[in-house]
Amino acid sequence: MILVLVGPPGAGKGTQAKLLCARFGIPQISTGDMLREAKRSGTLEKRYLDIMDSGGLLPDEAVIGLIDRRTAEPDCRGGFLLDGFPRTVPQADALDALLVGQGSGIEAVIQLDVPRSLLEERLIHRRTDKRSGQIYHLVYNPPPPGAELEHRADDRPEAVGKRLDAYEAMTAALLPFYEQKGLLRRVDGVGTPEEVTQRVMSALGRPGSGGE
Ligand code: ADP
Ligand code: ADP
C-alpha cells in the first residue's frame, strides 16, 4: 500500500501520517523530518538550511534523492506513506518513474483541506517533542510536563506566511496532476485528529476499519 498525503503546512499531515501508519503497519516517510534530522546531525548543506528556515522549498533534486534512497530500504517493501512529498509536478513525475521501476503504484493521494486562517493558528502553536517526534499544539493538544520541546524555526510568524504562499504557488499544478489520474481524494481536515482519520479511512474505501 503506497499512500501520499498532501496539504498545506499545518493541515495535519504529520499528525494523520502517524495515525494512519499505525493502522496500516507501514512506515511514514516525511521529507521534512528527514531534512530536519540532517540539519540536527550537521549533514544538511548550508544553502538548504537557509532555504528551509526561511520557509522556502528545496530544489526538487535534493528531495528526490532522499526519497530514492529511503524507499529502497527493506521496511518499505510492504508499502509506505509519503508525507510532504511530492510537492511539485517534477517530484511527482520522479515518484512515478521510481514506482514504475519497482513494479508498484500509488493507491491514493489524500488532500487535507484546512482554511488558511486555521493553518496559521496551528503552525504558530505547533511544538514537537525532540525525543519522540510527537506533535503537539499549545492549545488543542498541549504537551505533557517534561516533554523536550522544539519550536521549528519555520513556524515563526515571519516564515509561516511565506510557506503558505509557496504551497499555493507550487502545488497549484500538483493537485490537478493527481486528479487527472483519478487518485486524488479530498478530505476535510477540520475536526479532531480522530475524526479526520475516519474521513481518510472512508475516502480509502475502508470506513470504520482497524484501530477502534
Ligand atoms: P503538517 O504536517 O501538515 O504541517 P501537523 O500534523 O504537524 O501538520 O499539525 C500542525 C499543528 O496542528 C500541530 O500543532 C498539531 O498538533 C495541530 N493539529 C493537527 N491536526 C489537528 C486537528 N485535527 N485539530 C487540531 N489541531 C491539529
Ligand atoms: P510542513 O509539515 O509544515 O508541511 P515539512 O515538515 O513537510 O513542512 O517541510 C519542512 C520544510 O522542508 C519545507 O518548508 C521545505 O523547506 C522542506 N521540504 C520538505 N519537503 C519538501 C519537498 N517535497 N520539496 C521541497 N522542499 C521540501
User: Nearest residue CA, atom 19 of ligand 2?
Assistant: 32
Residue 211 pLDDT: 46
**Catalytic residue (choose from 70, 87, 122, 127):** 87
- pLDDT tens per residue, the chain (212 residues)? 999 999 999 999 999 999 999 999 999 999 999 999 999 899 999 999 999 988 888 999 999 999 999 999 999 999 999 999 999 999 999 999 999 988 999 999 999 999 999 999 999 999 999 888 899 999 999 999 999 999 998 999 888 998 999 888 888 899 999 999 999 999 999 999 999 999 999 999 988 765 44
Cell numbers linked to 91: 517530484
**Catalytic residue (choose from 39, 152, 162, 186):** 152
Q: Does ligand 2 come within 6 angstroms of the Cβ of 52?
A: yes
C-alpha 59, offset from chain centre: 17
Closest atom of ligand 2 relative to the 10 alpha carbon: 3
C-alpha 147, offset from chain centre: 23
Residue 91 marked ligand-binding: yes
Tell me how many degrees the CA angle 151-159-126 measures, rounded to the nearest 5. 30
Query: Cβ–Cβ contacts within 10 Å for residue 101, how many?
Result: 9
Residue 14 marked ligand-binding: yes
Please tell me the number of the ligand nearest to residue 143's CA: 1
Q: Exposed, middle or buried: residue 160 (CB in 10 Å: 0-12, 13-18, 19+)?
A: buried
- Ligand 2 centre distance from Cα of residue 161 (Å): 14
Residue 41 pLDDT: 94
Residue 152 is a catalytic residue:
yes
Which residue in 91, 101, 41, 89 sits closest to 66, CA to CA?
91
Residue 209 pLDDT: 61
Residue-range domains of the chain with CATH: 2-114+171-203 (3.40.50.300)
User: DSSP alpha helices (H): ranges in 55-88?
Assistant: 60-71
Residue 55 pLDDT: 86
Q: Exposed, middle or buried: residue 9 (CB in 10 Å: 0-12, 13-18, 19+)?
A: buried
Q: What is the dihedral of CA 61, 67, 147, 12, to 10 degrees?
A: 90
Q: Does ligand 2 come within 6 angstroms of the Cβ of 16?
A: no
Residue 212 pLDDT: 43
Instruction: Determine if the pTM surpasses 0.85.
Output: yes
